Amino acid sequence: MDNLPLKLIDQFGRQVDYIRLSITDRCDFRCVYCMAEDMTFLPRDEVLSLEECARLIKVFVRLGVTKVRITGGEPLVRKNALWLFKEIGNLTGLNELVLTTNGSQLNTQAQALKNAGVKRINISIDSLKPEKFKQITRTGRLEKVLDGLQASIHAGFEGIKMNTVLMRGHNDDETTDLVQFAIDNKIDISFIEEMPLGEVDHTRESTFVSNADTLKLLQSKYLLAPSTHNSGGPARYWQVSGTQTKIGFISPHSHNFCESCNRVRITCKGELYLCLGQEDKVDLMPLLRENPNDDGPLIQAILDSMRIKPKGHDFDLRRAEPAVVRFMSHTGG
């Protein structure tokens, strides 16, 4: 342990320098692709405290992680979430603190998050029609999210991106409108293919929209130039010519992005998942709780975990059962 700095390099030579940490499994929305209508959430004491989250992030940054994404569930519904952002926002070695949110709390929190050191935010917006938005999120109010988006634009983040999951028969008629909205607001947009995570109330195959088809549609409406932009994530980007907007495509089905995978995920229970689509994991919570004043065992377990990071996921839409039983809100999107 004395010879730090150490790096996280897996058995395939990939360096892990990006973590996504889910700070809660709870959410004020119940998006149809993400959750079942009836969800049971974890009891409080089975969830990492914010102090434990901060400790974990500091350890990962010591191990060469330069980018941290805070996610959930809905991270901003966690009480005192802002404390965590302030605690880690200016850590030496952490180049990028970023956030994925449904936007419902941004109208009041955007400026404070920016001040705490959050560089970029992703806001999930699947529809621009209030009724449809309500139908997809089950509980969400579009107006509030759009207010949050405007507050974020005003706060001056380095980047704002909409995340959209297109579902056949639900919102796939809004593809161009969503892109035009991003262009009008001078922000980016990414289309995420629906992934078979957790049991929801429809079959994934029935709603699946491939990013290849979405790209084809958008190419018929806009002049798109392949972009060299690399966000450090799996998205492939296209620049909409004559605008400030990039369109990203996150395509776990049609484009396998595992080869260059540089990330791991940590659930709100402190489970370190080495791959979003596989079950390989290490439980960090006991190590945190049994060694309150010694990071050594934690560091060793994280270093050892690199040996079990799998080569890649193997999502298959035709399988009746979900690829993994945990929901995206549990693992953290």
- Using the contact rule CB under 6 A, the part of the chain among 28-36, 82-90, 267-275, 296-304 near ligand SF4 is 28-36
Nearest-angstrom CA–CA distance, 290 and 284:
10
**Contacted by 270, from ligand SAM, ligand SF4, none: CB < 5 to 8 Å by type:** none
Q: Is 74 in the site for ligand SF4 (CB under 6 A)?
A: yes
Q: How many residues bind ligand SF4 (CB under 6 A)?
A: 12
Q: Is 27 in the site for ligand SAM (CB under 6 A)?
A: yes
Name the phi and psi angles at 119, rounded to 5: -85, -45
Give the nearest distance from C-beta 267 to ligand SF4 in angstroms. Answer: 13
In order, the DSSP letters of 28-47 are S---TTT--SS--PPPGGGS
C-alpha 17: how far from chain center: 15
**Subset of residues 31 to 70 that bind ligand SF4, contact rule: CB under 6 A:** 31, 34-35
List CB contacts of 120: < 8 A, sequence separation 6 or more: 96, 98, 99, 157, 158, 159, 160, 161
**Of the candidates 132, 77, 131, 75, which has an alpha carbon nearest to the alpha carbon of residue 98?**
75
Compute the Cα dihedral for 164, 168, 170, 173 and give only its sign: positive
Nearest-angstrom CA–CA distance, 323 and 152:
35
Write the DSSP symbol of residue 105.
T
Q: Is 276 in the site for ligand SF4 (CB under 6 A)?
A: no
**Contacted by 71, from ligand SAM, ligand SF4, none: CB < 5 to 8 Å by type:** ligand SAM
Q: Is 328 in the site for ligand SAM (CB under 6 A)?
A: yes
**Contacted by 180, from ligand SF4, ligand SAM, none: CB < 5 to 8 Å by type:** none
* Contact residues for ligand SAM, defined by CB under 6 A: 27, 33-34, 71-72, 74, 100-102, 124, 163, 165, 192, 194-195, 197, 328-329, 333
* Contact residues for ligand SF4, defined by CB under 6 A: 27, 29-31, 34-35, 72-74, 102, 124, 329
